[in-house]
Amino acid sequence: MKAEIEEKEIREENRKLRYLRFLVDFSILSIQQDDLSFEEAQELVENVKRAACSLFPGKEETFELIYRPRFNRVIGERFKRDSPT
């Protein structure tokens, strides 16, 4: 009985992780390909963060360590300004 509960919990955790991965990947593609403003891209990241914290309460720091750098890199690449030569 206990093993069944643990297995269910593991499956649920894996489902949440897959969903979060989908949200992050889809959002990154949206930032790269859609016609978003810088502010809209930042708002999208904050929405993903809220969703992640809803799926995994108390893991805000984990989001900041794992996903924030990816989003910052993509936003930096998308909105970089051409420097004068």
Mean pLDDT of 55-72: 96
What domain count does the chain have? 1
pLDDT at 59 over 90: yes
pTM of the model: 0.85
Q: Is residue 49 part of a domain?
A: yes
Q: Is residue 85 part of a domain?
A: no
pLDDT at 13 over 80: yes
- Residues 85 and 36: their CA atoms lie apart, in Å, by 27
Q: Is residue 65 part of a domain?
A: yes
Q: Is residue 83 part of a domain?
A: no
- What is the structure's pLDDT at 81? 61
Q: In a 10 Å sphere around its CB, with 0-12 CB exposed, 13-18 middle and 19+ buried, how is residue 46 labelled?
A: exposed
- Residues 53 and 37: their CA atoms lie apart, in Å, by 24
Residue-wise pLDDT tens digits, 43-52: 999 999 999 9
Task: Provide the mean pLDDT of the chain.
Answer: 93
Q: Is residue 63 part of a domain?
A: yes
Task: Give residue 83's pLDDT band: very low, low, confident or very high (50, 70, 90).
Answer: very low
Instruction: State which residues form the domain around 73.
Output: 2-78
